Structure 1
Amino acid sequence: MRVLGVSEVIARYEGYGDSGNFEELALQPDQTDLPDDLETALRDFAWSFAYHLHPGFENNEGGYGELTWDVSADSITLDHADRYVECSHSFDEGL
């Protein structure tokens, strides 16, 4: 990534209903073009990284997040959210 002049990678992903996908892959500087095979490898890496920390997030209501890779500092930040359904049930009889 450094050889291509990329200073930052931002990968946004989302999963639900037993499947998932990348919504967006952004590079800094904006004008950077990646070869198709490198873009695919980068998407696979980001998905695997997020999945390793939050396995199964694509199931049921799912989850989503944003992986930011500061290439210059060689540091990754993952901002992830899981969706869930909450129920509150009460039953009163013979009061």
Structure 2
Amino acid sequence: MNTENPTADHVATEARIKAEIAAHRASVRDVEARCKAAFLPLLIGHGITRVEIHYDGSGDEGMVGDVVAFADEQAAELPAILCDHYSVEFNGEIESRPMQLEDALSAFAENAVCDHHYGWENGEGAHGTIMIDVATGAVTLTHNERFIDYDTTEPEL
């Protein structure tokens, strides 16, 4: 294939792929906003000020761990209430379903990690934390990728 003078089909295909990627990214941001709009008022209403969600994975397997809530600096129980959870399905449609608040937060975290760090569970894997500052609505994803590194030296003896 000549990349210096691409054919019209190549240019059209590239444009279509870029448009599909942009549409998917927009859907992901829309879903993230919808999820936050669903769980933040519930957390505020129950005095939760911060939520931390840990994840870890490697060797083609990964999982979201405990969802830990805080009221100020004290650990707090999440209320056993329903929360709407939104997700982008494989067909690109946005789906909504009610689930327990803790499960909705866990699903939100898993979707966020997969959307922002695709393949995080493969190979040496990765681990991290999603921190939700309930008052500001800020969600911070701290992601740590694992990899094997080596340093080669070849001194002449």
Residues 51 and 67, structure 2, Cα contact 8 Å, conserved in 1:
yes
Moved over 6 A (4+): none
| Partner AA of 1:35 in structure 2 | A
The count of aligned residue pairs is: 91
Q: Percent identity?
A: 29
CA drift of 1:75 comes to 0.4
CA drift of 1:2 comes to 1.4
Q: Distance in 1 between matches of 2:78 and 2:116?
A: 29
Deviations 1:10-29 (A, max 9, x none): 01110111111123221012
Aligned partner of 1:71 among 93, 116, 134: 134
Instruction: Kindly report the root-mean-square deviation, in angstroms, between the aligned alpha carbons of the 2 structures.
Output: 1.9
* Equivalent runs, 1:1-95 vs 2, <5 Å: 1-29=43-71, 30-35=75-80, 37-87=100-150
Evaluate the alpha carbon distance shift between residue 34 and residue 18 of structure 1 in structure 2; reply closer, same or farther with a 3 A threshold: farther
Q: How does the TM-score come out when normalised to structure 2?
A: 0.52
**Structure 1 unaligned residues grouped into runs of 5+:** none
Q: Which structure ranks higher in relative contact order (CA pairs < 8 Å, sequence separation ≥ 6)?
A: 1
Q: Which protein has the larger Cα radius of gyration, Structure 1 or Structure 2? A: 2
Deviations 1:43-94 (A, max 9, x none): 0101111221111010011000011000100101111110112245689xxx
Q: Distance in 2 between matches of 1:38 and 1:31?
A: 14
